[in-house]
Amino acid sequence: MLFKPFVVFSLLSALTAIASPTWSALEEYEASLPRKTSKHQGTRPKIQISPHKPWSPLPTSPSRNRNCYVKSHNDGESDDSAYILDAINKCNNGGHVIFSQGTKYVIGTALNLTYLNHIDLDIQGYIQFTNDTDYWQAHAFSQVFQNVTTFFQLGGNDVNVYGGGTIDGNGQVWYDLYASNIYILRPVLFGTIGLHSGSISNLNLRYSPQYYNFVANSSNVVFSNISISGYSKSNNTAKNTDGWDTYRSSNIVIQNSVINNGDDCVSFKPNSTDILVQNLHCNGSHGISVGSLGQYVGEVDIVENVYVYNISMFNASDGARIKVWPGSPSELSGDLQGGGGSGRVNNITYDTMSISNVDYAIEITQCYGQKNLTLCNAFPSSLTISNVTMSNVHGTTSAKFDPITGYVVCSSETACSDIKLEGIAVVSPSGVENEFTCGDVDESLLQGIDCTTTNKGSN
């Protein structure tokens, strides 16, 4: 691991040596959290963005001038949403809302919190969403992109969320339901929607039905010291549980966090610009991903100015990844299909990544979702990839593609430019180092890489 783990994540960090935590260990960790009810005014963390700085300075947040404590039935069943709204409305415009330590809060109502202004939400207790899947499918907030919905949407200006408590999405019922019907709408646990200036820090996010964080139409927001985990207890996998997805957002920072999940650790969706990601410990994921992009005909997707630094990646399908749909319609699954969109990926840097048991250390594809290679070759992507640097990636891959350790394939000679690999040292289980599948890319810029040719398709 390339950075010193934070104390609050010590147990989860230790558990990432295996593919998923044992339930007894995870439950022991949850049980160790404080349960004694206490009305304690927490202090907003002083977040240091380091070692790299955001693309633009983040606004400062003034102190708050009054406190509002959230009431609770504290029975683990009754909906506390009215109490939550009451406290937030009383303390909006300059106040500090406190979810008390040792108290359990139940949310059974979709909460529209996009009007917040100069407010702190201090979550010291335990918040859990109800398992009423019929209600949430009918009332969760639609976020347009890929049929995303959220339990709540938090937005406004100058909002800070922190406290060391837990937000629980009650995901097991959703994992089991999705296994029987892939078209259900599973809510995202934390919806940051239209937030301009703020921070989300020092929280435990557990058992999300789908993504853990969806950040849309937002700017100048930092996420720091977040612990993410929640695997299925049944044979039905917790799918699409991305750590963060950014969408139509700029100047976002994601740092100093531990993520145990089953999909992208972080994914930069369409029109994500000026993004900094640093000091993450990812386990069981699909990597740090640009995309997928180019999914919708007529849409212009742009991901530009992204810096990813100091990532530890364990038991994953990918380390550094760029995934673009081809120019022809394709289908990855029944609930995920597309292709034919345009746009660009530009000025992307991955700097310093340690990998262990990862299928591909690096993957760049413009045939995402397309298994028919003839169609992909005939209809190359109209979304270009340029000015990409991936450096100082080292470690070991899994046996899945042995001896191949990476995949860098463009859909045409003109679709990609200036893709640079340097300082790469990745070894397959058979001992072969830096053997990549390459296609329609300037191999002279792939320093130290032994390229084999391909017919464009990704596995």
Per-residue pLDDT of the chain (459 residues; tens, 9 = 90+): 343 333 333 334 433 433 343 333 445 445 545 455 667 888 999 999 999 999 999 999 999 999 999 999 999 999 999 999 999 999 999 999 999 999 999 999 999 999 999 999 999 999 999 999 999 999 999 998 888 999 999 999 999 999 999 999 999 999 999 999 999 999 999 999 999 999 999 999 999 999 999 999 999 999 999 999 999 999 999 999 999 999 999 999 999 999 999 999 999 999 999 999 999 999 999 999 999 999 888 899 999 999 999 999 999 999 999 999 888 777 777 767 778 899 999 999 999 999 999 999 999 999 887 776 677 778 888 899 999 999 999 999 999 999 999 999 998 888 999 999 999 999 999 999 999 999 999 999 999 999 997 654 454
Spell out a b/e string for 250-261, using b for 16 or more CB atoms within 10 Å of the CB, else e.
bbbbbbbbbbbb
* Strand-pair partners of 168: 128, 206
- Tell me whether residue 118 is one of the annotated catalytic residues: no
Phi/psi for 39 (5° steps) reads -90, 90
| Predicted local confidence at residue 404, as pLDDT | 98
Catalytic residue among 118, 196, 286, 301: 286
| Residue 13, Cβ density class (10 Å: 0-12 exposed, 13-18 middle, ≥19 buried) | buried
| Predicted local confidence at residue 37, as pLDDT | 62
| Geometric angle at alpha carbon 396, from 291 and 2, rounded to 5° | 75
Catalytic residue among 80, 120, 245, 263: 263
Helices (H) and strands (E) in the chain, counts: 6, 28
| Geometric angle at alpha carbon 415, from 414 and 420, rounded to 5° | 95
Which tokens in the block code for residue 370?
């397309």
| Predicted local confidence at residue 345, as pLDDT | 98
- Tell me whether residue 286 is one of the annotated catalytic residues: yes
Contact 67, 96 (CB under 8 A): yes
Class of domain 7-452: mainly beta
| Geometric angle at alpha carbon 73, from 68 and 77, rounded to 5° | 130
